[in-house]
Structure 1
């Protein structure tokens, strides 16, 4: 019997991109259902009644929520092209840094974008310290997954693509060659289709730049207004 795989997501979400890329790297066909987050469907609200958020992966009728949880489910369900390292210590380390990205780097980066004056300077310093810690995990490797795109690379895509768009909206650049040469080299490899086969899948999932810019700008302006 053919497997039924559906993904409820939103095209501009970095969390959604994680799941699309993981499925593509596994070669797993899926049906994509776009959600309007300002008017969420009853189906989404039923599937994820706890958080009422995307992404939601539905595999043979069973919903799985939260992007990092979904990534692990995908890796455990379809064994080809493993995303997580096989070594238990390396697996634990990858999970730690993925959580660090979601719970530390992303909230701090949001503070950078919304703060002003001295508060913004302090947030920039804190975010740079966090990014430098993450960058240390890349030393001596092409990708966080060593020679191929893996679990932590997928979790860190927000830094590779969303930070770039936010920089254009806000006018503040965090990830520069001078500050983070290793991270910038990693970003370049992700964007270079010829560098590794996985990069073609990465760029297939990447949101259209102009539409993404407009989406981020609208969200940024709304968040700024709410913070006043």
Structure 2
């Protein structure tokens, strides 16, 4: 189920914190029989070392972002390429902020995934700011404390849709139903910039 036209899927799942990226990505990976590559899981231990060396507590700290972002994203992209070269589909999950904001950044990632044999698609979890805050408070993860404590709170997050072709997924829907609808779109190849909510 992970292939279309003989190419394994390379699904990139992005969205704001608390939007359900990891949950959706896991369901998509299961449905596709694909490898799940979660940025936080893959790089958490190394990021913790850097956080300790820099003496920062906020994962959104600009210094931390400048020193680790490129390496963290390169790591999961490289693992994705290895899997794709073996004919295995992949589902990558991370904020992918640069890739959704900058068409050239998305084009570069998509080109890497295509060169390894994959068929890339970007899935955007769309969610209202109030729902983001409620979910972050409910999950009560240590990484969210600095974000919620900032004066701007979740209003400082970029919740705008990607500026590149993508599948828009309504994060308020039940995860299983949403995953089924996204899988239909991914396997059907229907990806446009102005995609309505999947249902």
Which is bigger in relative contact order (C-alpha 8 A, separation at least 6)?
A: 2
TM (normalized to structure 1)? 0.33
Please identify which structure carries the higher strand content.
2
TM (normalized to structure 2)? 0.36
Please identify which structure carries the higher helix content.
1
